[in-house]
Amino acid sequence: MNPATTRTQVAIVGAGPAGLLLSHLLAARGIDSVVLETRSQEYVGARIRAGILEQSSVDLLTEVGLGERLAREGDQHRGIYLQFPHERHHIDFQSLIGRSVYVYGQTEVQKDLVEARTAAGQQWVYEISDVALHDLDTDRPSVTYVDADGAPQRLEADAIAGCDGSFGPSRAAIPGGTTWERTYPYSWFGILADVAPSTDELIYAWHPHGFALHSMRSETVSRLYLQVEPGTDPDSWSDDRIWDELATRLGHGQDGWELEPGPITDKSVLPMRSYVHAPMSHGRLFLAGDAAHIVPPTGAKGLNLAIADVALLAPALAELVGTGDARLADAYSDTALRRVWRCTHFSWWMTTMLHHSGDAFDEQLQLSQLRWVTSSEAGATGLAENYAGLPFEI
């Protein structure tokens, strides 16, 4: 059966925040797009992912009309706490660099994007299969797929944006290239709990038992993490064991601080890995977000990198398909990768500083580094500058 053929200016593969934000930014420049997604809309919207937005991400979302609920419900944070045994120090980003971060989950960003794109009449197709990319070296690339009813389809376009994550077909469609990858020897055991956060700012804790993080999703929901061995079964940890270990690593009782436990609603184990693929473009295909790079979550960079990518990609595609000017499109990969590698390094730095390796020599190096960062204005400023967000072009 020959596929039914439709046409758009930009075919976007992937309906997560990167894909939907790209469609929103393109529409603001008068460029049509169709968004394709293998999962259901409900599944994509319910994925529990990143919860920290850099100042630059907040500024962009606000500028393009997506900041109303963020301003109302997002939780602005001046900085973070760094903790190691018997010490807890506040790194005040606002005082050091004049910028903040915001706690506002990826699920909330997704809701805002879906609402905005629905109101704008965005064309999207969910629950597709057998996705393949074609003719990328021409000015008429296309995407073929099978829709939810089992009918073959072809979407022709002037350009394709691969926003389909690390397991989608877009990255594999780029011939050659190089992928740098690092798999860390530990994982994060994440829990959601229906309990008010026990802290006003995130706590990043180094402990001989392993790293711990106290984050939050709202005034009534806490998000917490423990460093565990890869392959850990979440069901092997009872709720009591989880709270006991969190209390130990986060310093319950230290200077009168207490960790308040509550009902755990979700448990999951996240492998810690990092990769960067270059180039991020080939012909008329352009990668953004997890399709091109993944970082460990320690530095809160994953969603913010995706936003930075599409902030660069939208004007590049608008010029390419709107006027035929390829200069920004040709520079996109190199420009994006400069920020990707800076954020990849920062994520590695935070990860290796805070996660216990079991090596006594490493332990002393980590503690020395933590003491330096928490006692040196230069060290604290470097952390603040990277954590709160660099310009989209560096």
Please identify every residue annotated as catalytic: 77, 204, 297, 301, 387
How do 222-228 and 212-216 pair as beta strands? antiparallel
Q: With contact defined as beta carbons under 8 Å apart, do 159 and 321 qualify?
A: yes
Per residue in 242-257, is it b (16+ CB within 10 Å) or e — as a string?
A: bbebbbbbbbbeeeee
Q: Which residues pair with 123 in a beta bridge?
A: 34
Q: With contact defined as beta carbons under 8 Å apart, do 192 and 222 qualify?
A: yes
- Give every CB contact of residue 138 below 8 A, 6+ residues apart in sequence: 283, 284
CA 10 remoteness from chain centre? 23
And the tokens for 384?
């603040």
Query: Where does residue 367 rank: exposed (0-12), middle (13-18), buried (19+ CB within 10 A)?
Result: middle
In terms of C-beta distances under 8 Å and separation of at least 24 residues, what long-range contacts does 226-230 make, across chains too?
226/188, 226/189, 227/186, 227/187, 227/188, 227/189, 227/355, 227/356, 228/186, 228/187, 228/188, 228/189, 228/269, 229/186, 229/187, 230/185, 230/186, 230/187, 230/271
Q: Which residue type, as a one-letter code, is found at position 314? A: A
Q: Which residue type, as a one-letter code, is found at position 26? A: L
- Which one, of 388, 394, 352, lies nearest residue 186 by Cα? 352
Q: With contact defined as beta carbons under 8 Å apart, do 216 and 252 qualify?
A: no
Which of helix, strand or coil describes residue 168? Answer: coil
Distance CA 110, CA 113 (A): 5
Per residue in 64-100, is it b (16+ CB within 10 Å) or e — as a string?
A: bebbeebeeebbebbbbbbbbeeebbbbebbebbebb
Distance CA 143, CA 388 (A): 37
Query: Where does residue 274 rank: exposed (0-12), middle (13-18), buried (19+ CB within 10 A)?
Result: middle
